[in-house]
């Protein structure tokens, strides 16, 4: 039973345009959400997060939106750059005290010049 | 530069062997995690530890065990390697209460 779903395995965008990566979740107990970025042959790196008490968090070119009623979050990258080409993982957590994360399957973003 | 170091980048082991994957972090983090990454399945949690000598099962602990004798080191043990354990293994650490993990570069294990 997949609790965090990234239904798009891949996304292609032109440089300078907006990239929108989507994530849906089923567990209503999730209260913290994160995005990680992974380049080939490297471990994932933390990108941006959002608490369930907020609906938006922005960090430079990256913005995460949370729609709790729809159990949906999205990552917007504006403007997209070729260096953003990577696999993006959505992750979510229940406040259990253990800081464990449940990850989605990932979306491969390709930004072409 | 803070880091999580996984001892091997690539490993090839035979079916039935006992395999040790080592992970060391230099950030004095309380939490350490082992995930495996498989195509089409994302990252799945195998085991985690929130303190020295403490361990908890994740979502897919079968066939694995772990050891955390020192705060900086978290070992994943495949008791008897099988071909379905061929995967990319990722170690991560975080401060207590912090979800921003620092991951290692991964160990790609092939069991033949």
Position A32 scores a pLDDT of: 93
Q: Token digits for B98?
A: 């912090």
Summarize pLDDT for B25-74 with one digit per residue, the tens: 999 999 999 999 998 888 999 999 999 989 999 999 999 999 999 999 99
pLDDT attached to residue A44: 94
Res. A29: pLDDT tops 80: yes
Angle at the Cα of A94 from the Cα atoms of A89 and A99, rounded to 5 degrees? 75
Residues of A in contact with B56 (CB under 8 A): 98
- Percent of all residues in chain B with a pLDDT value above 70, rounded to a whole number: 98
Which of A32, A43, A105 is the closest to B99 by Cβ? Answer: A32
pLDDT for the residue numbered A2: 82
Q: Judging by beta carbons within 10 Å of its beta carbon (0-12, 13-18, 19+), is residue A109 exposed, middle or buried?
A: buried
pLDDT at A57: 97
Instruction: Enter the tokens of residue B88.
Output: 């990319």
Q: A98: how many CB neighbours lie within 10 A of its CB?
A: 17
3-class secondary-structure state, position B89: strand
Cβ contacts of A42 on chain B, cutoff 8 Å: 105-106
User: Above 80 in pLDDT, residue A46?
Assistant: yes
pLDDT score for A99: 79
Q: Which residues of A9-34 are buried (b: 16+ CB within 10 A; e: fewer)?
A: eebebeeeeebbbbbbbeeeebebbb
Q: Is the predicted pLDDT of residue A66 greater than 80, yes or no?
A: yes
Chain B residues with CB within 8 Å of chain A CB: 4, 31, 33, 35, 40-45, 48, 50, 56, 58-59, 90, 92, 94, 96-106
| Residue pLDDT, tens place only, B13-27 | 999 999 999 999 999
pLDDT of residue B1: 65
A-B contacts (CB, under 8 Å): 60
Cis peptide before A53 (omega within 30 of 0): no
- For B83, the 3-state DSSP assignment is helix
Contacts of A97 in chain B (CB under 8 A): 97
Cβ of B50 within 8 Å of Cβ of A98? The answer is: yes
pLDDT tier, A98 (very low <50, low <70, confident <90, very high otherwise): confident
Read off the pLDDT band of B96 (50, 70, 90).
confident
The confidence score (pLDDT) of residue B2 equals: 64
Report residue B10's pLDDT band, with 50, 70 and 90 as the boundaries.
Answer: very high
């Amino acid at each position: 039973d997949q609790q965090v779903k990234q239904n798009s395995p891949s996304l292609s965008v032109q440089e300078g345009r907006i990239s929108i990566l989507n994530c849906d979740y089923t567990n209503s107990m999730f209260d913290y959400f994160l995005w990680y970025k992974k380049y080939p042959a490297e471990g994932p790196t933390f990108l941006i997060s959002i608490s369930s008490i907020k609906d938006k968090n922005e960090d430079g070119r990256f913005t995460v939106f949370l729609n709790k009623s729809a159990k949906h979050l999205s990552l917007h990258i504006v403007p997209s750059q070729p260096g953003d080409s990577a696999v993006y993982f959505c992750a979510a957590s229940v406040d259990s005290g253990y800081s464990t994360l449940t990850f989605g399957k990932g979306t491969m973003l390709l930004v072409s010049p | 530069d803070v880091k999580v170091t996984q001892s091997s980048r690539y490993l090839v082991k035979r079916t039935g062997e006992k395999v040790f994957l080592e992970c060391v972090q230099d950030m004095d983090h309380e939490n350490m995690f082992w995930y495996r990454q498989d195509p089409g399945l994302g990252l799945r949690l195998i085991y985690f530890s929130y303190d020295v000598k403490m361990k908890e099962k994740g979502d897919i602990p079968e066939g694995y065990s772990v050891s955390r004798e020192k705060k900086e080191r978290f070992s994943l043990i495949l008791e008897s390697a099988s071909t379905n354990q061929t995967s990319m293994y990722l170690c991560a650490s975080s401060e207590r209460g912090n979800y921003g993990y620092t991951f290692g570069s991964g160990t790609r294990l092939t069991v033949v």
